[in-house]
Amino acid sequence: MALLSGAVLALPGSAAHAADTLISQGRTVTASSVENGGTPAAYAVDGNTGTRWSSAASDQQWIQVDLGASAAISKVVLQWEAAYGKAYQIQTSADGATWTTVHSTTTGAGGTETLNVSGTGRYVRMNGVTRATGYGYSLWEFQVFGSFAGTTPGTCATTNAAQGKAATASSTENAGTPASAAVDGNTGTRWSSAASDPQWLQVDLGSVQDICQVQLNWEAAYGKAYQIQTSNDGSTWTTVHSTTTGAGGNETLNVTGTGRYVRVYGTQRGTAWGYSLWEFAVHTGGGSTVPPVQGGGDLGPNVMVFDPSTPNIQAKVDEVFTKQESNQFGNERYALLFKPGTYNNINAQIGFYTSIQGLGLSPDDTTFNGDVTVDAGWFNGNATQNFWRSAENLHLKPVSGTDRWAVSQAAPFRRMHVEGGLNLAPNGYGWASGGYIADSKIDGQIGNYSQQQWYTRDSSIGGFSNGVWNQTFSGVQGAPAQGFPNPPYTTLDTTPISQEKPFLHLDGNDYKVFVPAKRTNARGTSWGNGAPQGSSLPLSQFYVVKPGATAATINQALAQGLDLLFTPGVYHVDRTINITRPNTVVLGLGLATVVPDNGVTAMKVADVGGVKLAGLLLDAGTVNSPALLQVGDAGPGASHAANPTVVQDVFVRVGGAGAGKATNGMVINSNNTVVDHTWIWRADHGAGVGWETNRSDYGFVVGGNDVLATGLFVEHFNKYDVWWKGNGGRTIFFQNEKAYDAPNQAAIQNGSTRGYAAYKVDDAVNTHEGWGLGSYCYFNVDPTIVMDHGFEVPVKAGVKLHDILVNSLGGNGQFAHVVNDTGAPTSGTSTTPSNVVSYP
């Protein structure tokens, strides 16, 4: 929508009440839709009349703000951009589900509308019914005024909320003038900065609070031009006071704003020295102080922790397996955690939504004289549906000398040491279809047997037997030599960028989360050579998310600066989980599952560096979501090469557990993001499955530059399974099946092209490279369907694909080519791949 300009209209009788307090600015906000990445909902409550929210160009759109607590609402101000609402309602709600209309109009005039209302609620929304223009709804600002229970609007507490809190600064003049001296309550100590512009001092209040006054007690070196700013996350700032005529001395500034962090940001010194404050005082009130979310605590009801002295370990592990062996689409989730030590006579069989993990810093800290087993007896020896489970950080000494791990997608085997061999096939060597090993040491041989495709990264193995279609290795000591297509081995000596998944461990009796360091050109495991490289974060730094937690509380925890540890469970969210702070860690245990209930994006990461997302299943809700995971905003972003965001074992599901819809599965817009092992799946079986019933057009969409995918599994989407739009992208291993349920050839026609490619590199891309890529078709509704190709890329010198194949499973549909117009067609019912070693 073009940026429109319009007249500002003040309604009669709209003078502000003396007691009105702005209580919406900086709060969590959501909307039914956004026009694009440049007009998010947050821009309507940021206090900046130069930024705006705008919706999709259709009626029945809304924007709502979460005030954090119930409030008495006295006034709402709508500052419309020219695309305004003709008919709309102002509504309040206690729970974000049941709404009460406190104002309604069919003659909205646009401009600035000041509406005196009377109502109560934690949530307030503008519910648009009819647009006034051909565009959507667009608001520069959505302001809610009122008071919270037990407070008097306009009053300010006399207590200094900053005193004794953590303070930081852009610089200090010397060791005798630290930032902490400005919040110690002692007017004889001070902070002073270096003698340059700009400089800042900020204080962390510990929770999001309403800020009503700031007092600056300047030493002689004062600020002439400065701003007072607030922030929920210490990253994005809102200016609540600005001056270019600061006079020094004692300045008392009455302000209106909310935030956990408050800072004075100096842009022009009043002297030749730096900035110097005896005291920096912050007063709160005039609204609510949102109680802080507490970090740490227990690990919830679905985590079982064992030590070697725990009685009846085998019986307890068997009990979980009995529940989960065939529980493919159930809601139960479990994590089995083993403290360091030696465990004898254990055979831990692992079923659906079960993770088993050692709690040492090294796999060798937790030893099983026994096995961790996945087999396929529940499915008559067929392992192609052994999904959603994991094993991590254990040392196995298998009873028979060989452990069995017969899985397919979304079943990582990470940071494991097997003192023996590893069999990837089910008992009887039935079908198995795709898996993943990383950061592991297998002393003996890996028996691939019936596994159709497999990816192994940054590991050490004693050998690897046979292959079927696509067995890919990067950074693996002992990997077989390059041989594609006969044998079908794609072998890269190193992995260009890797950073292992964060994991829970014990330090004495304290739980911590270890975040491994980034490696470049990695080869072999990240452990086994002394202390692992990385850092440990205390559990007190994490909001431990347990069943019953709400998205509002999760977002508040993030705004406080906490990381997230999701315990096993299914979490329904009514608003997007927004991650805006660099280096945030979000770790799930036991395939913790997030479901958006009302068509929002389940989880979104801002364009910041160093975020770690790991161990989650994002499951589409019944109302269509624009995406289930979005990393970064649309449009050009910053380089994060030094500190990339990493997404690991984050799985996406549309349908299967019930009807679900999402336009996109996973969208990666941040530059330099690393996506390490994902299965993005539009369901082909289970409940809620049908060409339109679980509609999802695109699986994995990449808008960022220099994105790396290692272990990319994407299947069954209605259009492109992968659509790569950013330059410099790289993929090491890709496994795909096209949607089984296409009703006919016309349903997948892409202009003059028969079918949407499994892997599409956009025509505007100049550089891209992929290794070990495979796509298969099984059109069981209409076996006469033909795909022109599985891979579609621009013909440019910088775009290169290595070791690629397409295959028709039993002759149910065919491919005419492998990539563009290159490669022999598949034919017949023999399930024989058509291979291309190098393109172009």
Residue 55 in tokens = 């919706």
Contact 208/231 with Cβ under 8 angstroms? no
Q: What are phi and psi of 174, to 5 degrees?
A: -165, 180
Q: Cα(78)–Cα(425) distance, rounded to whole angstroms?
A: 62
Question: Residue 547: how many CB atoms within 10 A of its CB?
Answer: 15
Contact 760/794 with Cβ under 8 angstroms? no
Q: Which long-range contacts (CB under 8 A, 24 or more apart) does 423-426 make?
A: 423/447, 423/449, 424/448, 424/449, 424/451, 424/454, 425/383, 425/449, 425/450, 425/451, 426/375, 426/376, 426/381, 426/382, 426/383, 426/450
Contact 335/303 with Cβ under 8 angstroms? yes
Greatest Cα pair distance, the chain, in angstroms, is 88
Residue 400 in tokens = 């028979």
Q: Report, in angstroms and rounded to the nearest whole number, the Rg of the chain calculated over CA atoms.
A: 29
Q: Cα(569)–Cα(353) distance, rounded to whole angstroms?
A: 10
140 three-class SS: strand
CA distances, 292 to each of 260, 340, 576 (Å): 10, 34, 20
Among the listed residues 644, 394, 611, the one whose alpha carbon sits nearest the alpha carbon of residue 519: 644
Question: Residue 58: how many CB atoms within 10 A of its CB?
Answer: 12
One-letter identity of residue 346: I
Question: Residue 505: how many CB atoms within 10 A of its CB?
Answer: 24
Q: Cα(377)–Cα(321) distance, rounded to whole angstroms?
A: 12
One-letter identity of residue 308: P
Q: Tokens 């500002």 identify what position?
A: 8
Question: Residue 820: how many CB atoms within 10 A of its CB?
Answer: 18
Print the SS3 string covering 686-739: CECCCCCCCCCCEEEEECCCCCEEEEEEEECCCCCCEEECCCCEEEEEEEEECC
Q: What are phi and psi of 775, to 5 degrees?
A: -135, 140
Instruction: Classify residue 482 by burial, with Cβ atoms within 10 Å: 0-12, 13-18, 19+.
Output: middle
Q: Is the dihedral of CA 757, 761, 764, 770 positive or negative?
A: negative
Instruction: Classify residue 537 by burial, with Cβ atoms within 10 Å: 0-12, 13-18, 19+.
Output: middle
Annotated catalytic, 737?
A: yes
Cα distance between the two ends of the chain: 40
One-letter identity of residue 139: L
608 three-class SS: coil
Single out the catalytic residue among 715, 737, 769, 792. 737
Query: DSSP assignment, residue 684?
Result: S
Residues involved in catalysis? 737
